[in-house]
Structure 1
Amino acid sequence: MISAGFLAILCLGVASAAPSHDYTLDAEWEQWKRSYEKIYSPEEEKQRRAVWEENMKMFKLHSGVNGLWINNVTIEMNEFGDRTGEEMRKMMNNSSVLTLRNGKHIQKRGNVPIPTTLDWRKEGYVTPVRSQGPCGVCWAFAVVGSLEGQLFRKTGKLIPLSVQNLVDCSRSFGTNGCIDGKPYGAFQYVKNNGGLEAEATYPYEAKVRLCRYRPERSVVTVSRVLGVPRTEAALMNALITHGPIIVSIDAAHESFDKYTGGIYHEPKCRSKTLNHSMLLVGFGYEGKESENRKYWLVKNSYGKRWGENGYMKIPRDQNNYCGIASCAMYPVL
């Protein structure tokens, strides 16, 4: 991520004078704008260009050969190349995700056969990847994804559900629109208010508006929420027996922002610093099974051009890497 010192310098520079640009990067800048269909006002372009140049310099310094970061993880100057670290953090949860530890809300672990790989997308449980845009509602996309999976499990119908319904209406349950939110609070809203609408009747706008929920248009409700014990074995059990699971990880790193493929590796990742919610949809391994390159497959809400078509592989069975098992939960309809 960009350092606080750089951000301070950048702010001062913008306030005092137009940013100066490295004209040797003109061709790359224009190509990047075309690739990601970026259109700015003249003043905004000056500021975004300055941020992009700093990010590009850091990218070239750390990316190594062929865009490799560490351990064959690939990164690129993706669509977020014109955003500061602070702006990227605003797309995450600004505070630690609420952890369920009330005994009656803990999922009971059983013994189930463990397949070599699992991908709930292939079974019809997962809707296409969407983008949250500049609105910090990863929590809402994760909640909606888990509800979509459970609704499919119950009815055989895969219905995209409304993120905007949660953004607008769940603020009295511990969420704060585009600034912050916790999956458990969003579930409580759905439970207490009789349901959630579909995307078709309450489409996403990436901003907070007045609540327009109509109970007669609800397509899903929640009876309870179960937390998963803080072990990868328990997470595996829950994923196999119940379908896609909400997980939260430490994602406040430049390598996360620019991730494009491979099993993610970030030496600074911590298991107790949870700031980004995603949907766990499967697991597998790269290479030969004996090479122990095992991963969890998670769905993000940064659009299809981020990661592996919107997905990320996180190390599995490596001491709860990035906190993948620290705060997992799923709804019961």
Structure 2
Amino acid sequence: MEHSIFVMCILAVLSIALANPIFQDFSQLKAVENANKVLQLVDQEVLSNHKLGQQSSLPQKIDWREKGYVTNVKDQGQCASCWAFASAATMEGQLFNKTNNLITLSEQNLLDCAKSYNDKGCAGGWMSHAFKYIRDNGIEADGTYPYTATKQECSFNEANSVGTLQNYVKLTKTTEEEILKAVANHGPVGVYVYMSSLFMGYKSGIFEDDSCTETPNHAVTVVGYVNTPQDQYWIIKNSFSKSWGEDGYMRMKMNKNVCGITYRLYYPIV
């Protein structure tokens, strides 16, 4: 049943792309992202016992871009490597927190080398598997291991590693309150969302899509939020280049579980 559902998702997005040229640039990417589900990658990692810090009053606004935790928006190209981009983005923030040095990490390193951790390169993957790879091996910077948008033979050089992690946190079927706590107390976090037609065609404004109810299939990074009486939204960093959305970012409506944002939550402990 699960297999047939995800095949139907692929067929549906392809039909949308054929019917509306605005989505054709994303059709191959979307099909491959959904194919990740057909592969039925199983993320079975036991939850980390790391506890989120508790605050009696969380800040109403936080934007980790303003605090130096976030690198420039990147472009995954026609490769379902969103999992690698979100993993790298959360690591970049935590390495900055530890070293006060913002380094652009290598998604290609993860794409090529995390195969033995059950990630599938341009056919999809899980952030938790990427974190296991980084924990055991380290990760290079993009400068020494640049992105090509195609899977290649692993050429990781341990001498070029710029960071590792001790552990990671994974929350399954969580709540937006828990995401809020994690972003406020920890920094940028990785989540999965469903790429609906409206999501793919997003240009600006606070995004909301009541029809976006399929199982999430695309990894993004939450780099901040606004939670005031006037506005409530997440600040989402995507990996579709600066030409997508608001210079590569999306403001997503909070407290409505838009596109299944509560499906998975990940962040590293450096």
TM-score, normalised with respect to structure 1? 0.71
Aligned to 1:115: 59
Unaligned runs of 5+ in 2: 1-7
**Residues 1:102 and 2:39 are matched in the alignment:** no
Q: 2:242 aligns with which of 304, 322, 327?
A: 304
Closer, same or farther: CA 172–2 of 1 in aligned 2, 3 Å: closer
How far apart, in 2, do the equivalents of 1:103 and 1:312 lie?
A: 28
**Distance (whole Å) between structure 2 residues aligned to residue 311 and residue 282 of structure 1:** 11
Residues 287-327 of structure 1, C-alpha deviation per residue, up to 9 Å, x if partnerless? xx444x41111100000000111011111122x22221221
**Cα distance, 1:147–1:2 mapped onto 2, change above 3 Å:** closer
Q: Secondary structure at the match of 1:85?
A: helix
Tell me which of 270, 274, 277 is aligned to 2:219.
Answer: 277
If you compute each CA radius of gyration, which structure gives the higher value, 1 or 2? Answer: 1
- Give matches, 1:207-246, under 5 Å: 207-228=150-171, 230-246=174-190
Question: What one-letter code is carried by the residue in structure 2 that aligns with 1:275?
Answer: N
* Mapped partners of 1:265, 1:92: distance in 2: 21
How far is the alpha carbon of 1:110 from its aligned partner?
1.7
Cα displacement string for residues 50-89 of structure 1 (whole angstroms, at most 9, x for unaligned residues): x67x424xxxxxxxxxxxxxxxxxxxx4xxx433635423
Find the residue that maps to 2:199 and give its secondary structure.
helix
Structure 1 residue 180 displacement after superposition? 1.2
Q: Cα RMSD between the aligned structures?
A: 2.7
Q: Is 1:176 the equivalent of 2:114?
A: no
- The answer as to whether partners of 2:10 and 2:35 remain within 8 angstroms in 1 is no
- Deviation, 1:2, is 10
**Contact preservation (8 Å) 1:91, 1:134:** no
Compared with structure 1, are the counterparts of its residues 97 and 264 closer, same or farther at alpha carbon in structure 2 (3 Å cutoff)?
Answer: farther
- Alignment deviations for residues 138-196 of structure 1 (CA, whole Å, 9 cap, x no partner): 00000000000000000000000000000000011111110111110111111122x00
Q: Label 1:84 to 1:331 Cα distance change in 2 as closer, same or farther (>3 A).
A: closer
Give the 3 Å change call, closer, same or farther, for CA 325–106 of structure 1 in structure 2: farther
Distance 1:331 1:283, change over 3 A: same
Structure 2 counterpart SS, 1:170: helix
Q: Structure 2 vs 1, CA of residues 103 and 209 (structure 1 numbering), >3 Å: closer, same or farther?
A: closer
Deviation at 1:266, TM superposition (A): 1.7
Query: What SS is found at the alignment partner of 1:260?
Result: coil
Equivalent pair of 1:247/1:324 in contact (CA under 8 Å): yes
Equivalences for residues 113-192 of structure 1 within 5 A: 113-192=57-136
Give matches, 1:280-295, under 5 Å. Answer: 280-284=222-226, 289-291=228-230, 293-295=231-233
Question: What stretches of structure 1 of length at least 5 have no aligned partner?
Answer: 9-50, 57-76
1:90 aligns with 2:27: no
2:263 maps to 326
1:122 counterpart SS class: coil
Task: Please list the CA deviations of residues 252-272 of structure 1 after superposition, one character each: whole Å capped at 9, or x if unmatched.
Answer: x211111111121222212x7
- The list of structure 1 runs, each at least 4 consecutive aligned residues, that deviate by more than 6 angstroms after superposition, is none
Of 49, 55, 70, the match for 2:20: 55
Query: Which residue identity lines up with residue 322 of structure 1 in the other structure?
Result: C
Call closer, same or farther: CA 1:137–1:143 in 2, change over 3 Å: same
Count the aligned residue pairs.
260
